[in-house]
Each structure stands twice: as structure tokens, then as C-alpha cells.
């Protein structure tokens, strides 16, 4: 099992980032053989951490990478830095990051993921 050097909040945020990108990504090419219906945020997170759609993991304790997740091409990296979390690449490309039609850049995806988590936390306190 991969041990992450992320704080509890950073894990929640990374999980939400991958989930939001996954939801707006499309199945590409041979990915249709790995595509699934009814996928949850926890499913996406488990797939990313385990590098479930490909045999070689590019994950480390400081960095998670989603190449394909349940057949959807993402090519997305979330890295722990001394300043917090960073989303890479610094510029998204619609050719292989279809989620970039919804989230034009890493800053937008990060901002909306933080807002989504904050909203979830606010709803729990109601």
C-alpha cells in the first residue's frame, strides 16, 4: 500500500481533484474496454492510488498520477510540495485531457475542488 506524505485535508483535496477531472473526462479508444458505469469518488481514488488501468505505477509518496482511470484518459498529476498541492501539467491540453473543456487550467480545477470540499464540510455542519 502506498503511504502518502499528504495531510488528511490534502488527501481529501487530491481525491476531489481526481474525481472532478474524471467526471468530465471522456472514454478514449481502447479505454472502452475498461470503462465502467456507476463509478464513485472512492472508486476513482482507489484506481488512481493503485494505478488500476495500467501496469506501471508513476506514483510516489509525494505524487499521484492518473494516466487512464476506468478507460478515461486523464494524464493528470497531483504533487505534494512545500507550498501545498500542485496540479500538473501547468497547462492542460484538450487532445488528451478532455476535462480541460470544463476546467481550463490547474488553478480553476484547484479552486473549484477546494470550494466543493468546503461546501461538503459546510453541509455536514448544518
- How far apart (Å, rounded) are the C-alpha atoms in residues 1 and 89? 26
Cell numbers for 84, please give them.
501545498
Q: pLDDT per position in the chain (126 positions), as tens?
A: 689 999 999 999 999 999 999 999 999 888 888 999 999 999 999 999 999 888 889 999 999 999 999 999 999 999 999 999 999 999 999 998 999 999 999 999 999 999 999 998 777 655
Do residues 62 and 70 touch, judged by C-beta distance below 8 A? no
Residue identified by cell 505524487 is: 63
* pLDDT value of position 2: 83
The whole-number pLDDT of residue 55 equals 83
Calpha distance 58→101 (Å, rounded): 25
Dihedral of CA atoms 29, 22, 107, 98 in degrees, nearest 10, equals: 20
State the pLDDT at residue 125.
59
Q: Which pLDDT does position 1 carry in this prediction?
A: 65
Torsion of CA 102, 104, 110, 112, to 10 degrees: -40
Tracing cell 478532455 back to the chain, one arrives at 98
Task: Report d(CA 29, CA 80) in Å as an integer.
Answer: 31
17-47 per-position pLDDT tens digit: 999 999 999 998 888 889 999 999 999 999 9
**pLDDT value at residue 28:** 85
Vertex 86 angle, CA 73 and 41, to 5°:
50
pLDDT of residue 30: 86
Amino acid at each position: 500500500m502506498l503511504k502518502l506524505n499528504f495531510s488528511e485535508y490534502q488527501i481529501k483535496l487530491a481525491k476531489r481533484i481526481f474525481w472532478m477531472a474524471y467526471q468530465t473526462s471522456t472514454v478514449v479508444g481502447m479505454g472502452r474496454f475498461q470503462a465502467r458505469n456507476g463509478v464513485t469518488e472512492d472508486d476513482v481514488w482507489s484506481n488512481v492510488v493503485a494505478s488500476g488501468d495500467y501496469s506501471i505505477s508513476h506514483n510516489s509518496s509525494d505524487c499521484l498520477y492518473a494516466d487512464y482511470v476506468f478507460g478515461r484518459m486523464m494524464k493528470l498529476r497531483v504533487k505534494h510540495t512545500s507550498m501545498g498541492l500542485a496540479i500538473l501539467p501547468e497547462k492542460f491540453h484538450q487532445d488528451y485531457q478532455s476535462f480541460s473543456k470544463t476546467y481550463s487550467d490547474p488553478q480553476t480545477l484547484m479552486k473549484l475542488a477546494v470550494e466543493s470540499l468546503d461546501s461538503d464540510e459546510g453541509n455536514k455542519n448544518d
